[in-house]
Chains A and B, each alone.
Chain A
Amino acid sequence: MDLDSQLRQFKDFLSLYNTITEKCFNACVDGFFRRGVEDDENSCINHCVDKFANTNQLIMKTYVEVQGKINEKRMEDFNNQIKQQEEQNNQAQQVDTNTQAVIQQEEKPIT
């Protein structure tokens, strides 16, 4: 792994760490009777961190799934568009040859 992506990963990890601390502290700690963490706060923090991780995993899984489907649909739409355009072009060419034939037929009696 190169230096840049390693640093980025480290940075992502640290900012995630700070975010989780903030979220779980705000959600779980709501009484300042002593300096240390109480037992119920501790279990709340454990649940909070686990839930955060599980949520992230589920979001990533769902995102990959849905984004894949969206990409498939986009490709399908794109191909359909191309097909439609080709058909239109073919029709236009046919009309072109038809009108030319009509013109030639009309021109013949005069000569």
Chain B
Amino acid sequence: MAQAQLSPAEQMKLQMMQDLEIEMMSDLYNRMTQACHKKCIPPKYSDSELGKGEMVCIDRCVAKYLDVHERIGKKLTAMSASDEEMKKKMAGG
């Protein structure tokens, strides 16, 4: 319903932003998979089943990765906000 009120250009922009976000989510997922694999799965393949330790490690690794991502996101947002403020101050004299 809300989308019907947007102009075609705005709709296209929204669509592109959403696509971009999905692309970045999959990028994040791939990086996380790599990181947790490296940190939790020792390169000794004596068993095809995941050990209990590996399972626990992966559970915590995924949770931690997303936690770190969130923290850094907040930090970056704060940093860019203070950057904008600086720019405004500089432009204002």
Contacts and interface: CB of A to CB of B under 8 A. Distances in A.
Interface of A: 3, 7, 10-11, 13-15, 17-18, 20-22, 24-26, 28-30, 32-37, 42, 45-46, 49, 53
Interface residues of B, number: 31
A21 B79 contact: no
Contacts of A20: 72, 76
Nearest 5 Cβ contacts at the A-B interface: A32-B60, A35-B63, A14-B24, A22-B31, A21-B69
A45 B24 contact: no
A3 B39 CA distance: 40
B20 A14 contact: yes
Interface of B: 9, 13, 16-17, 20-21, 24, 27-28, 31, 35, 38-40, 56-57, 59-61, 63-65, 67-69, 71-73, 75-76, 79
Contacts, number: 81
Which of B17, B28, B31, B64 has the most C-beta atoms of chain A within 10 angstroms of its own C-beta?
B64
A17 B74 CA distance: 11
Contacts of B59: 35
A70 B71 CA distance: 40
Given A7-B20, A45-B71, A21 B31 contact: yes
B68 A21 contact: yes
Nearest to B24: A14
